Amino acid sequence: MYKSGAWLLLLLWLSGCSPAPSQSQLYQIYQRDSLKVGILHGPTSYYVGIDGPTGFELELSQALADKLEVKLELYPSYHLDELLQKLETGQVDYIAGGLTQTELRKSKYRASPAYRWINEVLVFKQGNVWPRTLDELSDQVIVVKDSSHAETLRQLSLDNPDLQWQQHPTLDADEILQQVVDGNIAYTLTDSNQLALNRRFYPNLSIAFTVRDNLPVSWLLADNQDDSLYAVLIEFFGSMYQSGELIALEDRYFGHVQLFDYVDTLAYIDAIEQNLPSYKDWFMQYAGELDWRLLAALSYQESHWDPKAKSPTGVRGLMMLTLPTAQQMGVSSRLDPEQSIRGGSRYLHRLVSRIPERIGMPDRLWFALASYNVGWGHVEDARILTQRQGADPDKWLDVKQRLPLLRQKSFYKTTKYGYARGDEAVSYVENIRRYYDTLLWVDERQQAEQRLEQQKRRLTEQLNSDTSTEILPPASDTPPKQPIESQ
């Protein structure tokens, strides 16, 4: 384990090597039994989800803390400069936030080994004039203050003196993208993964052109002579690559958002507003142990929330149940929306229960969704093929690469259930994941707006209550009473 290796290193230091144990960053981490991480808020890094704090950078840092066998202490912030101050004063061990390596950052800080690669793209609103080069920009480019994008634009300005750009002092990357959609900002520069996540909510965001590609993403460490933590990071990221954990983690957060369909996303957001309210209560009522929004996303993938939907193969209704499945789930009319939702939920729960218990979430759920589409038997065939090829049959990332093989005779003839459109099952699951993410965002935004409206209403009522008074008419033989504050 890392800890035993660290103590061996300390023994070497004690025998005369430098730096001294008290000066070693790794020694200090073990002494306090915690890894202190400055982490940026944002969808690509760290955010508070329905089950609490989550995010790619959070899980990656937690994996390092687990390897070191110490606790993880997070110092979240919306502002990179605040975290950089903590790094420079030693309050955090490193900064995680999907930070691109830039010349300026490398001159001031130490970068960990790269663990992701992204592109920087120029973004504009769909429907506006499409600029193909920097020379065709008709307005200034707005970016986050002190970001890697600001450094990119500063460098581009050296060769393009007419380039107009500005750093926004308060908005973060997501807020700037929203301003582009709202028409308040013409252009911005953003990371490809940031754009992919935001296009689930704002399909009108379009890529004008790629400004820089294949840029390494790293953690930032203090620039000093202490190599103790850096050496651990080399081994850590190497093992994460070799074990497949890093690729699996990236797939969990970003694998389902790489493909983007403008028309479909636009139609889905419209359906959330127009069609979903008719069925929302039933999704909530029959969701059981699952998130109702996942059940709704599954239903949209199946029928686009059309209760009379029918496929050429005979499946029908909101949840597109086959007749035998409907009968097993106690559904007498597949065209009845409530019955269809109840039956579809029961069927999905049954599929989840069939997945081996050793498979944890969310892989367990992705296997169940694939089974809803193509049948558990075919999913099991793909898992067997996965095992034959030396990959992990309990990981969705590995199995989804083998599901398309069920179309090929050389593979499906060796399976129990034979031919299947396994590639469609993969797209099916990824679509549901995107639909779920979008619905989650829309629903949380609606809830926030409702809470804000309730607060405004209560404040208005309180103000009205505080300012209202009741004046009692004076009696003929007594002085007038003071106003009584109404309760």
| Residues 87 and 231 placed together within one structural domain of the fold | yes
User: Is position 455 within any domain?
Assistant: no
User: Is position 337 within any domain?
Assistant: yes
Percent of the chain with pLDDT over 70: 91
Q: Check pLDDT > 70 for residue 136.
A: yes
| Residues 223 and 194 placed together within one structural domain of the fold | no
Do 269 and 285 contact (CB within 8 A), yes or no? no
Helices (H), 226-362: 228-243, 245-250, 262-274, 280-286, 292-303, 323-328, 337-354
| Residues 102 and 171 placed together within one structural domain of the fold | no
- pLDDT tens string 308-325: 999 888 899 999 999 999
DSSP string of 371-421, one letter each residue: HHHH-HHHHHHHHHHHHHTTS-TT-HHHHTTTGGGGGSHHHHTTSSS----
**The last residue of a domain, from among 433, 450, 472:** 433
| Residues 286 and 201 placed together within one structural domain of the fold | no
Residue 298 confidence (pLDDT): 98
Q: Check pLDDT > 60 for residue 114.
A: yes
Q: What is the DSSP letter of 290?
A: S
Residue 354 confidence (pLDDT): 93
Q: Check pLDDT > 90 for residue 376.
A: yes
Q: Check pLDDT > 60 for residue 355.
A: yes
Give the CATH number, domain containing residue 77. 3.40.190.10
How open is the CA angle 337-343-346, to the nearest 5 degrees? 140
**The last residue of a domain, from among 189, 216, 243:** 216
- What is the band of 487 on the pLDDT scale with cuts at 50, 70, 90? very low
> Which tokens in the block code for residue 61?
């840092």
Phi and psi for 43 in degrees, rounded to 5? Answer: -65, -25
| Residues 420 and 328 placed together within one structural domain of the fold | yes
In this prediction, residues 113-130 reach a mean pLDDT of 95
| Residues 193 and 60 placed together within one structural domain of the fold | no
User: Is position 468 within any domain?
Assistant: no
Q: pTM of the entire structure?
A: 0.75
Give the CATH number, domain containing residue 345. 1.10.530.10
| Residues 124 and 35 placed together within one structural domain of the fold | no
| Residues 67 and 153 placed together within one structural domain of the fold | no
Q: Check pLDDT > 90 for residue 375.
A: yes
- What is the band of 17 on the pLDDT scale with cuts at 50, 70, 90? very low
> Which tokens in the block code for residue 262?
């403008």
In this prediction, residues 449-470 reach a mean pLDDT of 76
**The last residue of a domain, from among 216, 238, 270:** 216
Question: What is the extent of the structural domain holding 161?
Answer: 117-216
User: Is position 93 within any domain?
Assistant: yes
For 227, other C-beta atoms within 10 Å of its C-beta total 14
Rg, Å, the chain Cα set: 28
Distances (CA, A) of 27 to 9, 20, 31: 9, 10, 6
User: Is position 168 within any domain?
Assistant: yes
In this prediction, residues 196-203 reach a mean pLDDT of 88
Number of domains in the chain: 3
d(C-alpha 156, C-alpha 158), whole Å: 5
Residue 468 confidence (pLDDT): 60
| Residues 268 and 417 placed together within one structural domain of the fold | yes
CA 404 to chain centre: 26
User: Is position 444 within any domain?
Assistant: no
Parallel, antiparallel or unpaired: strands 34-40 and 71-77: parallel
Q: Which residues carry out catalysis? A: 302
Residue 264 confidence (pLDDT): 87
| Residues 319 and 399 placed together within one structural domain of the fold | yes
Instruction: Assign 15 to helix, strand or coil.
Output: coil
User: Is position 449 within any domain?
Assistant: no
| Residues 308 and 402 placed together within one structural domain of the fold | yes
Q: Check pLDDT > 90 for residue 367.
A: yes
Q: Check pLDDT > 60 for residue 15.
A: no
List Cβ neighbours of 419 (8 Å cut-off, separation of 6 or more). Answer: 406, 407, 409, 412
User: Is position 82 within any domain?
Assistant: yes
Q: Check pLDDT > 60 for residue 484.
A: no
Helices (H), 40-172: 56-68, 80-88, 103-108, 148-159
Phi and psi for 332 in degrees, rounded to 5? Answer: -90, -25
Residue 462 confidence (pLDDT): 80
| Residues 190 and 222 placed together within one structural domain of the fold | no
Residue 8 confidence (pLDDT): 46
